Structure 1
Amino acid sequence: MFGIILIAPVIQLIFLGYAANLDIEKIKLIVFDQDKTSTSRKLVEELTSSGYFVIQEYVNDYKSVTTYLDYNKAIVAVVIPNDFEKKINRRETTKLQAIFDAADGNTASIAAGYLQQIILQFAKNTSFQMMQKSGNLIIPVGNITPEIRVWYNPTLKTRNYMVPGIVGLLLSIVTLLLTSLAVVKEKEIGTMEQLIVTPLKPYQIIIGKLVPFILLGFLSIVIVLTAMRIVFDIPVKGSIPFLFLSAFFYILSTLGLGLFVSTISKTQQQAMMIAVFAVMMPMVFLSGFAFPIENMPEIIQYISYIIPLKYFINIIRGVISKGLGFAELWINALVLLIMGIFIIVLSSLRFQRRLD
């Protein structure tokens, strides 16, 4: 229990923090250069010098292109036609082929964005150099120049978005799973019957079982936030008291769900299976932790409104990443409080009937 409560959250935070990374940094590239001119080589140099693309091989036919893509040895193949430089010098429209392995649509779309940006910049620089050489340099008037400002995550790292959500995920594991297992264990070893015959009232037994896990939940939050700051250098920008208050509201929901699981389980193995597959996995999938809720079918979006983790992740990401507080996130906190009271009251009533 000591290891699960104090050590496992830190290990899971580190593993998930490094694993939950959608950033594409090294894109495997193969080049089919039919032109083999200085201009085509310059284009390839632009791709590699960007830091996004790593050339795996230069190939000489389409069959090799297909082989590399089929066996996952490359994500994108760039095919440069044999009249590439000639058409550029003639100032004609020049076609360039890029073939993507889009089995992973997210990776392919990001790689396509990088490739398009580099090629557009290459075309712009090439055109500018040709105009300079010809002496017909014309400075356009009234260009629109965007000034981009990236808020909240200037480095655009996926980790800065995913790691705060992991805090809510680990808190769910500690409170929901351990609560259900602890109560069921009391039944298995026979101590629950001993508690029933004591002068303790049912609500006192319930409080006695839940209060320790509330304290353990807060202890886990402190440990995980500290590890998040030290390992990933992600500070809490917003109100820490509001974050802990919201965590208490969320813990009410997870404790209630854990208590409910214990009332329908006879063994610890059964409690773990129900808690993980019937409660935890739907919460993770429908909370917006990994998948944007806006991209889900409309009926699934409506179902997500009854998922407590959804509101807690909104609060965590708002407080940690954006520096928000009660004024901006009070609706999420209020929903968590209402859901927490509702769930824990119903679960306590069911647990109390089982005790009777």
Structure 2
Amino acid sequence: MKIMIFILRKEFRQIFRDKTILAMMFVMPTVQLIIMPLAANFEVKNINVAYVDHDHSSYSQKLLHKIGSSGYFKLTGNPDSYKKGLKMIEEGSADLVLEIPQGFEKNLVREGSQKLNLSVDAINGTKSSVGGSYLLSVISDFNNNLDINIKSPQGNSTVSTAKISTDTINWYNIRAEYKYYMVPGILVLLLTLIGGFITALNIVKEKEIGTIEQINVTPIKKWQFILGKLIPFWIVGMIVFTIGLIVMYIIYGIFPEGSLLTLYLFAAIYLIALLGLGLLISTFADTQLQAMFIAYFFMMVFMLMSGFFTNTESMPDWARTVSNFTPVTHFIKVVRLIVLKGSHFSEVKNEFFYLIGFAFVLNGLAIFNYRKTS
């Protein structure tokens, strides 16, 4: 017990002695959590549309007005030919080119249909697919609201067509605001980056300054050494997580719908698993540069495969398998379910057992791989 107290006292002194580390652990994630959700947004706006209107009719003007007033598009040019519209895409001044053919209004009234030409810049895949879908939605809405009576060929009666109306309700995020989806995920990623990188550098720093040799000749057991390295950063991680929840509530008005106790239970287990990974990396690396590169590799995999940017269910089978073998995937899922949906422990217990398994395996490997000579 005295040995553990000695190790913990030493670690806390090292943490609070280094002002840069303190700023990295507390100030940086707080500032990032405030700023990043404002910029990290999957919603596409300010899509530049060049329109080529060959008809110049009242209906073509109504369509263009509806597009411009939707809040997603900016009508940036009115070239007199489709070729010049494509030139605007090449120059980067337009993302989409909408060509309205001659006879647009006449064909709508007489024929009841009319084709439009839409060309999309696909260099930015997200912007092109989402922007194109938005514009098609606006055109479809314009089409549904046209007050045109199409006469039947046989008489003067109006052809009646069946219509299906759909009312959509977004559960757990009524207005489909991205901040409710993004903020919990960003909180998890910041906790992952801070915890993963700092612990990965911890034992390596001891190697570089030579204090590891002094520790190795003491009667400290390997598990005591690893535990002494883990506990201080676990406490720091829980404080960072608490600060993140406070920022989430004060800045974005998001308060967990589910149990805070359940949320903290998962955070505690997740941090043990994550810090175990950092300590395992630290036992392999000989320099801080090596540890940083190894940790960076894992952090990138965690970020891209966690389901934060893309839905894990949409991934190929092999990618879904890799995703399931990363602890951050399960913690992001749990945080979103508890914060937004208010899920109970019984609904996320499988994720709890996953994290328990990661914690045992990663810390066990860190203890096993730590080479202590006496």
Coarse TM-score class (shorter-chain normalised):
over 0.9
* 1:264 maps to 2:288: no
Unaligned segments of structure 1, at least 5 residues: none
Q: CA offsets per residue over residues 293-342 of structure 1, 9 Å max, x none? A: 22322222222221111111110111112111202101101111112112
SS of 2:348's equivalent?
helix
In the alignment, the residues of structure 2 paired with residue 16 and residue 125 of structure 1 have an alpha-carbon distance, to the nearest angstrom, of 39
Aligned to 1:243: 263
- Whether the 8 Å CA contact 1:27–1:75 is kept in 2: the answer is yes
In the alignment, the residues of structure 2 paired with residue 117 and residue 303 of structure 1 have an alpha-carbon distance, to the nearest angstrom, of 36
Match of 1:329 among 335, 338, 348: 348
The code of the aligned residue for 1:309 comes to: V
The code of the aligned residue for 1:292 comes to: N
SS of 1:31's equivalent?
strand
Structure 1 vs Structure 2 CA RMSD:
2.1
Give, in angstroms, the shift of residue 137 of structure 1.
5.8
Aligned to 1:297: 316
Aligned to 2:251: 231
Q: CA offsets per residue over residues 65-107 of structure 1, 9 Å max, x none? A: 1111112211211111111122123234211111111222322
Q: CA offsets per residue over residues 279-303 of structure 1, 9 Å max, x none? A: 2111222221212222322222222
- Whether the 8 Å CA contact 2:202–2:279 is kept in 1: the answer is no
Aligned to 1:347: 366
- Whether the 8 Å CA contact 1:256–1:348 is kept in 2: the answer is no
User: What is the TM-score normalised by the length of structure 1?
Assistant: 0.92
In the alignment, the residues of structure 1 paired with residue 319 and residue 58 of structure 2 have an alpha-carbon distance, to the nearest angstrom, of 54
In the alignment, the residues of structure 1 paired with residue 333 and residue 104 of structure 2 have an alpha-carbon distance, to the nearest angstrom, of 50
Aligned to 2:220: 200
The code of the aligned residue for 2:361 comes to: F
- Whether the 8 Å CA contact 1:202–1:355 is kept in 2: the answer is no
Aligned residues: 351
In the alignment, the residues of structure 2 paired with residue 114 and residue 236 of structure 1 have an alpha-carbon distance, to the nearest angstrom, of 32
In the alignment, the residues of structure 2 paired with residue 239 and residue 159 of structure 1 have an alpha-carbon distance, to the nearest angstrom, of 20
Aligned to 2:105: 85
Match of 1:172 among 171, 178, 192: 192
In the alignment, the residues of structure 1 paired with residue 103 and residue 221 of structure 2 have an alpha-carbon distance, to the nearest angstrom, of 88
Aligned to 1:281: 300
Percent of residue pairs bearing the same amino acid type: 35
Unaligned segments of structure 2, at least 5 residues: 1-20
* 1:33 maps to 2:53: yes
Q: CA offsets per residue over residues 249-271 of structure 1, 9 Å max, x none? A: 11121111111111111111221
SS of 1:154's equivalent?
coil
Aligned to 2:241: 221
Match of 2:331 among 312, 329, 345: 312
In the alignment, the residues of structure 1 paired with residue 35 and residue 210 of structure 2 have an alpha-carbon distance, to the nearest angstrom, of 37
Give, in angstroms, the shift of residue 355 of structure 1.
4.7
Aligned to 2:17: none
Aligned to 1:146: 166
The code of the aligned residue for 1:251 comes to: L
- Whether the 8 Å CA contact 1:185–1:267 is kept in 2: the answer is yes
* 1:116 maps to 2:113: no
User: What is the TM-score normalised by the length of structure 2?
Assistant: 0.88
Give, in angstroms, the shift of residue 8 of structure 1.
0.7
